[in-house]
């Protein structure tokens, strides 16, 4: 049994290293690249799909061998990061939703919380997870989730300051200040009855006309396919590199889904053998599953490149990228 556990652990570590190497190749690809390096992304998704399934199938052995819950959270976070990267390149909402599903799973299962690890590296992983989850939740207009994650981020920054006094967390304090300022300025948070800017075929046109939207866009008419969103103002309200005005323009250039975008809830076995159904958790990394979340009643979103104070050469480079 010990030898079998060693084999499982070594195989898992090998899969992690392989997936990490592939992830490093695509991590720094520009978000406006579209088809650039698409074959690399397919390889990365395949590597993480294999890794995710392997840790599910051998969870008991891996836990006995010393697998930490935060390591599972890190894998899920990488998958969410990959999906969000695909969203920024394609503007397809199905990728954004799948990123949210994985991040929500990390939060609900508390992969980082409760591990009681006095490891600065693990704390930074948790901080980055909250920051990425906030960005995805903002774009999806999940205001309640944003409020929950902001509270957790504040508490974590305070905890890090108390336990790692030799480390400066000034940048993360600024992140908290940015998101709080963003929430105070955005009407979605300050006005309870405010509707999001995202265009909804259900609310913004007669329900009987929804079925004709896709048909209209299928005709050879002028289409809005690409947009560059950027800003140069000083002291703007922003979170990360997403300014409030770019955020609102982004919302205006996307469709609100008129159907169900969420996959079926999947069950996972806990370490003690009890099966629990985790709400909103994706247990698969399967492009076919994501394809099933496409809303057939709506045309595709226009592709968007969001640039924060770009240089002239950067702007020109983005402007001349050819569509796929």
Residue numbers in the chain where pLDDT is lower than 70: 1-5, 30-37, 114-117, 192-196, 199-223, 257-297, 319-324
Sole residue written with tokens 């469709």: 255
Whole-Å CA distances, 178 to 143, 150, 244, 306 = 16, 11, 11, 18
Cα dihedral angle (177, 180, 184, 188), rounded to 10 degrees?
140
Cβ neighbour number for residue 67 with a 10 Å cutoff: 20
pLDDT of residue 202: 55
pTM to 2 decimal places: 0.81
Cβ neighbour number for residue 155 with a 10 Å cutoff: 11
List phi, psi (to 5°) of 323.
Answer: -70, 155
Q: 104: which 2 tokens?
A: 């929500």
Q: 179: which 2 tokens?
A: 């998101």
List phi, psi (to 5°) of 252.
Answer: -65, -20
Residues in Cβ contact with 217 at an 8 Å cutoff, skipping those fewer than 6 apart? 223, 299
Q: How many helices (H) and strands (E) does the chain have?
A: 14, 8
Q: What is the pLDDT of residues 244-296, one digit of tens each?
A: 999 988 888 887 765 444 443 434 444 444 344 333 333 443 444 444 455 66
DSSP assignment of 49-92 = HHHHHHHHHTHHHHHHTT--HHHHHHHHHHHHHHHHHHHHHH--
d(CA 146, CA 168): 25
């Amino acid at each position: 049994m010990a030898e079998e556990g060693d084999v499982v652990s070594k195989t898992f570590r090998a899969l992690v290293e392989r997936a990490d190497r592939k992830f490093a190749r695509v991590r720094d690809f520009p978000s406006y690249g579209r088809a650039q390096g698409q074959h690399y992304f397919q390889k990365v998704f395949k590597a993480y799909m294999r890794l995710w399934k392997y840790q599910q199938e051998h969870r008991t052995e891996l836990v006995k061998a010393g697998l930490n819950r935060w390591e599972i959270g890190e894998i899920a976070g990488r998958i969410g990061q990959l999906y969000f990267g695909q969203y920024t390149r394609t503007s397809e909402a199905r990728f954004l939703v799948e990123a949210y599903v994985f991040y929500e799973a990390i939060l609900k299962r508390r992969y980082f919380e409760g591990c009681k690890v006095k490891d600065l590296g693990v704390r930074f992983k948790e901080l980055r997870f909250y920051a990425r989850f906030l960005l995805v939740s903002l774009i999806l207009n999940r205001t309640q989730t944003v409020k929950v994650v902001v509270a957790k981020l504040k508490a974590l920054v305070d905890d890090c300051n108390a336990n790692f006094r030799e480390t400066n967390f000034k940048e993360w304090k600024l992140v908290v200040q940015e998101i709080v300022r963003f929430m105070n300025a955005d009407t979605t948070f300050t006005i309870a009855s405010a509707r999001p800017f995202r265009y909804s075929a259900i609310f913004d046109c007669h329900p009987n006309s929804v079925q004709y939207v896709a048909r209209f866009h299928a005709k050879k008419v002028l289409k809005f396919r690409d947009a560059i969103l950027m800003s140069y103002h000083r002291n703007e309200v922003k979170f990360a590199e997403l300014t409030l005005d770019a955020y609102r323009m982004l919302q205006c250039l996307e469709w609100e889904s008129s159907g169900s975008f969420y996959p079926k809830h999947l069950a996972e076995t806990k370490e003690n053998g009890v099966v629990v159904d985790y709400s909103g958790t994706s247990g698969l990394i399967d492009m076919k599953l994501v394809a099933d979340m496409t809303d057939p009643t709506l045309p595709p979103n226009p592709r968007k490149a969001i640039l924060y104070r770009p240089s002239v050469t950067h702007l020109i480079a983005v402007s001349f990228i050819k569509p796929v």
